[in-house]
Structure 1
Amino acid sequence: MSIQVGDTLPDVEIRVVSNGIEEGRTGPLFAGRKVVLFAVPGAFTPTCSNRHLPGYVQHLAQFQARGVEVMCLAVNDAYVMQAWAASQNVPPELLMLADGNGNFTKAMGLELDGNAYGMGLRARRFALYAENGVVKALQVEAPGEFRVSTAEAILEALA
């Protein structure tokens, strides 16, 4: 079963990419913060690179003006996330979370079986808003869609 509004985000190991790569845990990472976390099926994939991540980069200042931090999650290793962030000109304030083994994604119940496409385990495309690690809003895309997890949709949901 997937995580729901009102649930606390799971506390697992994660790699955080910003000004370098750091090991951390999701519990302390989300504690005491207002965060929009959006997930993509894969770094460097078409929709993720052309629309999803760029939308959050473009609207980052609007989230920050509301006191909300933005984080991007993918089931990719930290070096891939670091290269993707560099290629997309992601500012260091937008944290890239590398869930290399998919442990955080699986703990949330938001994994995607991409084996039929040669991609293995991935994250479903989603966005959530959490305060102090508690999910306050969750938007999960239907397969093949890109509507409810966009930066614009989440900004509207936060209004």
Structure 2
Amino acid sequence: MFAGQKLPNVTFRTRVRDDSIEGPNPFRWQDMTTADYFEGKRVVLFSLPGAFTPTCSTYQLPGFENGFGDFAAEGIDAIYCMSVNDSFVMNKWAEAQGIKNVGVIPDGSGEFTRKVGMLVDKDNLGFGMRSWRYAAVIDNGVVEAFFEEPGRDDNHPEDPYGESAPENVLSYLKNKVDTVAA
């Protein structure tokens, strides 16, 4: 993915709460498209190797969640977390993390991740195909800025984290606003 790139059209299979459904699992399937998430707004998208994994659960997701107000102050309408996990896993992870401000996008088949060139093999960890860690500022479906962790490669022995950290993305937004204002 790179600045200026338009996001690919993908349909994501999500599960949403539906109070008209009784029982222990009151959710229904709802297809959401790239346009549903990104059209007509300025958002931060970050993607990571997997829900419930250490760096993702300890730093990246909580950092974006807790910093939501700072991002909104810099003109961000929404923050989305994507992973090559299904909707059941993404919803349970968001629930377990107490997430209120960050939306989760399940890329269960890895279609979006593959189309933006970020799908990597993580068989060395028993994960299979997953997303390389990255973040992006997206304005009306077009990548404004892109933050990729170094070393993208299949079966990378490490999980680098820093470029896609919320603090780094927020720094870009603050510097961009300061540059525009000057």
- Whether TM exceeds 0.5 here: the answer is yes
Equivalent runs, 1:57-68 vs 2, <5 Å: 57-68=65-76
Q: Which amino acid aligns with 1:133?
A: G
1:117 alignment counterpart: 125
Q: Which amino acid aligns with 2:12?
A: I
Greater relative CO, 1 or 2 (CA 8 Å, sep 6+) = 1
Question: In structure 2, how many angstroms separate the alpha carbons of the residues matched to 1:55 and 1:18?
Answer: 24
1:28 alignment counterpart: 36
Equivalent runs, 1:34-49 vs 2, <5 Å: 34-49=42-57
- Are the equivalent residues in 2 in contact too, given 1:102–1:122 (CA < 8 A)? yes
Equivalent residue for 1:11, pick from 3, 9, 12: 9
Alignment gaps of 5+ in structure 1: none
Question: In structure 2, how many angstroms separate the alpha carbons of the residues matched to 1:8 and 1:16?
Answer: 22
- Are the equivalent residues in 2 in contact too, given 1:16–1:98 (CA < 8 A)? yes
Using the TM superposition, give the Cα deviation of residue 120 of structure 1 relative to its aligned residue in structure 2, in angstroms: 0.5
- SS, match of residue 38 in structure 1: strand
- Are the equivalent residues in 2 in contact too, given 1:4–1:138 (CA < 8 A)? yes
Q: Which amino acid aligns with 1:63?
A: F
Equivalent residue for 1:80, pick from 68, 89, 98: 89
User: 1:96-121 deviations in whole A, cap 9, x for unaligned?
Assistant: 00000000000101112111211011
Using the TM superposition, give the Cα deviation of residue 64 of structure 1 relative to its aligned residue in structure 2, in angstroms: 1.8
Identical-pair percentage: 37
Using the TM superposition, give the Cα deviation of residue 55 of structure 1 relative to its aligned residue in structure 2, in angstroms: 0.4
When normalised by structure 2's length, the TM-score is: 0.81
Structure ID, larger Rg: 2
Bigger shift: 22-31 or 97-106? 22-31
Question: In structure 1, how many angstroms separate the alpha carbons of the residues matched to 2:72 and 2:172?
Answer: 15
User: 1:45-100 deviations in whole A, cap 9, x for unaligned?
Assistant: 01111111010111011112223110000000101001000111100x42100000
Equivalent runs, 1:48-59 vs 2, <5 Å: 48-59=56-67
User: 1:24-65 deviations in whole A, cap 9, x for unaligned?
Assistant: 111332110101000010000011111110101110111122
- SS, match of residue 136 in structure 2: strand
Question: In structure 2, how many angstroms separate the alpha carbons of the residues matched to 1:17 and 1:154?
Answer: 29
